[in-house]
Structure 1
């Protein structure tokens, strides 16, 4: 497992949430995930926040590679609910609802979800957000507390839009099991370069020091017309595919349709490509 600042269970400390990735021996993604230290007592250990699209793959990975004598994996997905609070007042709402917000990382309230309590975690730094995990049966009550503190329901699409605006790739949408994390811009965000002995390390080190990847995650500006994900990008009057769109959203922040996707390394942003063909609509290409 490779993760920024994460060199094994001993390097993840209480109150710290560490973003990272699990790789195949060829350096491709099994999934990305966030790791949290929940304690060393009976029934405690590491908590892993994994996207739904990476759930089956990571369980299969642990079945193959995790020695049962030394560690036990328990799937809490069906017993745990997640609520995400977004927006400029997110911290204020969470603090009012629960009486505290962790300065960084996360806090366990009432023993955390495994003990019938809550886990409150600061979201990614690019978006003002908080994640609250609770036992599934308690999720409605948690929502009522948030609602009483000023939260309003907006739906998952708003979260997706904010992540696209911030240039944050989502596993299962912008990344999959064919993605090398360097392509998705995760080299500094998800890996500790002083760490050794994680699966796929040789590939990552070789790319970092002596090689390069052919595709890079980029931000797209489409104007008023939002294309479908999966469309290809071309240079003006060109016939070779130079990129592809992986996610699209209408952006209030930018006042137009925006997206994420991959572009050939030869295309240096800022640049302009064409959607669908060499004579298609112009697409602005920017760094994420």
Structure 2
């Protein structure tokens, strides 16, 4: 059959979903980058890391170009908008997760994603909410404590890789060592506090009542400080995920065990002793 005899394609009529998507991107109905589906944003950002898909004539060293593209994703593209930040961060997490897990101290556990902390589904629907509160919510809200440590590890690694390609004299800092000797174990225990009974730990405090030195304690206002021998549980006057933690006071100090789960169990026993008035508030449990 001659191709000239084919019927023309049917006309295109925008669907209701397409029109809604355009309105989400722009109040006047014009399409914008904010109206792109998440899978397209993910594909676009992945292509910026692919030298074959997006070739450049300005770089001759493949390793330097690879590192600078990752730096551009981390430092530049994440700042475009909320969706770009979330998608780019998810790509970076996938790239560095295996390295992060391989550096966990022997005998320690790790779960950088104990619950959904990316809000990607929320970002996809945020502009369709009545008040748009989800779209203005901080991208850091809802992150688990170890997820935040993992993101810090990514920032350190991306910076170190860039400095290495810029100068062979570049030396590694102490940031990575601090993460795996102090920050990761403490953050993991802080996440494990949510596994304790509700008479000891609750996920969120009553927003109308500031935290008081009494059980149960709000996990959002708790932090862990580790020494080689002891683990100290502190109660903060403000949520620890905010920039200002406010004042803090010691709740209980327990002797560390060989595992993070074991230390968390010791904290549970210490809080139970406080509840039964066997140990004073701020006391030590050996």
TM-score (norm 1): 0.24
Structure with bigger strand share is 1
TM-score (norm 2): 0.24
Please say which structure displays the higher CA radius of gyration. Answer: 2
